[in-house]
């Protein structure tokens, strides 16, 4: 791609962008009365304008039908778990019976570890990335303890090498091979939340299986961001969240993926609840848990219908835009941000910010993480005052996530112009 550092070029890119109309489907928060430069979809995606209408629809059902809404009306609540499947299956590269929207991410991490982390004999360890998101660390630690084991010697962390930011793929594979028959589970993110590094899920899964371990992924930063093929990659289990790139609202529903080879596997340990019980017999209220086929059989409870309505509104926009088109635009948009940031650094002796995310498109999603060498949080504050909404991660990283769904090339141009102005003060 031949980029140019001019507003005219940014406008031209926006005009040629087949997805540009989607920006208008979202509420863009304002700063100082102007549309913000919202690069925080990695933390909380923006609100689709149609979410209100989807919510109002369920409010009306409830208002007018009360409990009858469970089985009547045009969106009966008892089947609300199924509505998101077509869209999610494309986003995740999974079959519809391999996925179900439910709970929150951390809850699902526990549910999948209950089923897929089964320490037995010599095979007791779990391999994960060093510097994982805290909830993942706590979940893993507590699961290991739950089995009466010590996390100190049962959790193997693969970290970046001294002086590097990213984890080398060969180091992950080497650790998996090294610990071989001691590993019960390999648990990695699809994308590292801090650095934006995409992991090679396909070959991590292959290596894990070769070692005889189960392989799971936390897709919090990958879902709705990069192209995935969970089924073809043969991944055992995965979870994600819907409030980051999937724009479904603060704290909204997560989901669980379980490969179809476990669809009717009643030998796997699992924590059960009535919503995972055979749908046709559920209301007979009988003893003896008979799980539904596939991921649905992992459901515990009554679905949160209002939350799912917001999820569905957001997913309908993914259906319209298409995940492949989104990814295609994303590569260009993030490439433009990278180009503009490099240009900013070219004009000074000592760069104030350094991109720590990979420069290879296939090793990143839309996020670029910037290591701030000078000015720290003060500098970030000035960018916020100038209209940027992004996030700051201690000790000194700014994460910028131009999302292909609602961000424009003009946003990128505006941000880098703002940075140029702010950096002069440091």
Ligand X SMILES: *Cc1c(COP(=O)(O)O)cnc(C)c1O
Q: Which residues lie closer than 8 Å to 401 by C-beta, 6 or more apart?
A: 39, 40, 41, 42, 43, 365, 366, 367, 368, 390
Minimum separation from the CB atom of position 159 to ligand X (A): 16
Nearest Cα to Cα of residue 226 among 32, 116, 343, 362: 362
Select from 201-209, 217-225, 308-316, 346-354 the region that touches ligand X (CB under 6 A): 217-225
Minimum separation from the CB atom of position 136 to ligand X (A): 5
239 is in an annotated binding site: no
Q: Which is nearer to ligand X, 17 or 129 (CB)?
A: 129
Q: Which is nearer to ligand X, 85 or 221 (CB)?
A: 221
Show the beta-strand stretches assigned E in 159-303: 183-189, 214-218, 237-241, 254-258
Minimum separation from the CB atom of position 216 to ligand X (A): 12
The distance in angstroms from the start CA to the end CA of the chain is 32
Minimum separation from the CB atom of position 253 to ligand X (A): 10
Helix (H, G, I), strand (E, B) or coil at 161: coil
H helix runs in 253-322, sequence order? 305-321
Phi, psi of 257 (to 5 degrees): -115, 135
Q: Which of residues 132-191 bind ligand X (CB under 6 A)?
A: 133, 135-136, 189
3 is in an annotated binding site: no
Residue of 26, 38, 117, 193 that binds ligand X (CB under 6 A): 193
134 is in an annotated binding site: yes
Phi, psi of 276 (to 5 degrees): -90, -10
- Provide the token pair at 25: 């489907």
Q: Which is nearer to ligand X, 106 or 124 (CB)?
A: 106
154 is in an annotated binding site: no
Minimum separation from the CB atom of position 369 to ligand X (A): 13
Beta strands 37-38 and 388-389 are parallel
Minimum separation from the CB atom of position 104 to ligand X (A): 4
Counting every residue written for the chain, the total comes to: 426
Query: What is the Cβ-side half-sphere exposure of residue 293, based on CA atoms within 13 angstroms?
Result: 6
Minimum separation from the CB atom of position 160 to ligand X (A): 17
Q: Which is nearer to ligand X, 140 or 313 (CB)?
A: 140
Q: Which of residues 84-123 bind ligand X (CB under 6 A)?
A: 104-106
302 is in an annotated binding site: yes
Q: Which is nearer to ligand X, 135 or 279 (CB)?
A: 135
Helix (H, G, I), strand (E, B) or coil at 11: helix
Residue of 221, 329, 382, 399 that binds ligand X (CB under 6 A): 221
**Distance between CA atoms of residues 114 and 106, nearest Å:** 12
Compose the 291-330 pattern: x for residues touching ligand X by CB under 6 A, - for all others: ----------------------------------------
Answer for the pair 294, 371: CB distance below 8 angstroms, yes or no. Answer: no
Residue of 37, 113, 226, 241 that binds ligand X (CB under 6 A): 241
Select from 129-137, 204-212, 281-289, 400-408 the region that touches ligand X (CB under 6 A): 129-137
371 is in an annotated binding site: no
108 is in an annotated binding site: no
218 is in an annotated binding site: yes
Q: Which is nearer to ligand X, 291 or 365 (CB)?
A: 365
- Provide the token pair at 147: 């089995």
Task: Please give the full DSSP string across 212-229, using - where no structure is assigned.
Answer: T-EEEEE-TTTTTTS---
14 is in an annotated binding site: no
Minimum separation from the CB atom of position 46 to ligand X (A): 16
Select from 62-70, 116-124, 130-138, 407-415 the region that touches ligand X (CB under 6 A): 130-138
**Distance between CA atoms of residues 81 and 297, nearest Å:** 11
H helix runs in 298-350, sequence order? 305-321, 323-346
**Distance between CA atoms of residues 254 and 151, nearest Å:** 26
Cite the annotated binding site by residue number. 105-106, 133-136, 218, 221, 243, 274, 302
User: Residues in the site for ligand X, rule: CB under 6 A?
Assistant: 104-106, 133, 135-136, 189, 193, 218, 220-221, 241
């Amino acid at each position: 791609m031949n980029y140019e550092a001019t507003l005219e070029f940014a406008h031209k890119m926006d005009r040629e962008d087949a997805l540009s109309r989607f920006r208008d489907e979202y509420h863009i928060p304002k700063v100082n009365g102007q549309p913000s430069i919202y690069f925080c979809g990695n933390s909380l995606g923006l609100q689709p304008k149609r979410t209100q209408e989807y919510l109002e629809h369920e409010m009306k059902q409830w208002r007018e039908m009360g409990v009858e809404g469970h089985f009547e009306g045009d969106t009966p609540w008892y089947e609300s778990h199924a509505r998101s499947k077509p869209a999610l299956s494309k986003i995740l590269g999974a079959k519809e019976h391999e996925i179900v929207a439910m709970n929150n991410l951390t809850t699902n991490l526990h549910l999948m570890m209950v089923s897929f982390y089964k320490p037995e004999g010599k095979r007791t360890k779990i391999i994960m990335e060093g510097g994982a998101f805290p909830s993942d660390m706590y979940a893993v630690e507590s699961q290991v303890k739950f089995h009466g084991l010590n996390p100190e010697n049962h959790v193997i962390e693969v970290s970046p090498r001294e002086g590097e930011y990213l984890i080398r793929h060969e180091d992950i594979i080497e650790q998996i091979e090294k610990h071989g028959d001691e590993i019960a589970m390999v648990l990695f993110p699809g994308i590292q939340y801090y650095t934006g590094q995409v992991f090679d899920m396909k070959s991590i899964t292959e290596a894990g299986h070769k070692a005889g371990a189960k392989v799971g992924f936390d897709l919090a930063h990958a879902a709705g961001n990069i192209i995935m093929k969970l089924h073809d990659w043969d991944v055992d289990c995965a979870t994600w969240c819907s409030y980051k790139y999937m724009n479904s609202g603060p704290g909204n529903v997560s989901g669980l993926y379980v490969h179809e080879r476990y669809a009717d596997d009643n030998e796997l340990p699992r924590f059960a609840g009535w919503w995972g019980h055979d749908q046709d017999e559920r209301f007979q209220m009988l003893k003896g848990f008979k799980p539904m086929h596939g991921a649905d059989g992992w459901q515990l409870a009554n679905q949160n219908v209002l939350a799912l309505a917001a999820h569905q509104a957001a997913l309908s926009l993914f259906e319209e835009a298409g995940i492949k088109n989104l990814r295609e635009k994303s590569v260009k948009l993030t490439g433009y941000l990278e180009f503009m940031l490099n240009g900013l650094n070219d004009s000074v002796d000592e760069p104030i910010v350094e991109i720590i995310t990979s420069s290879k498109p296939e090793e990143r999603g839309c996020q670029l993480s910037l290591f701030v060498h000078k000015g720290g949080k003060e500098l970030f504050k000035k960018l916020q005052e100038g209209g940027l909404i992004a996030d700051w991660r201690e000790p000194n990283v700014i994460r910028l996530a131009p999302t292909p769904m609602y961000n424009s090339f003009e946003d990128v141009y505006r941000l880098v112009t703002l940075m140029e102005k702010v950096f002069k003060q440091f």
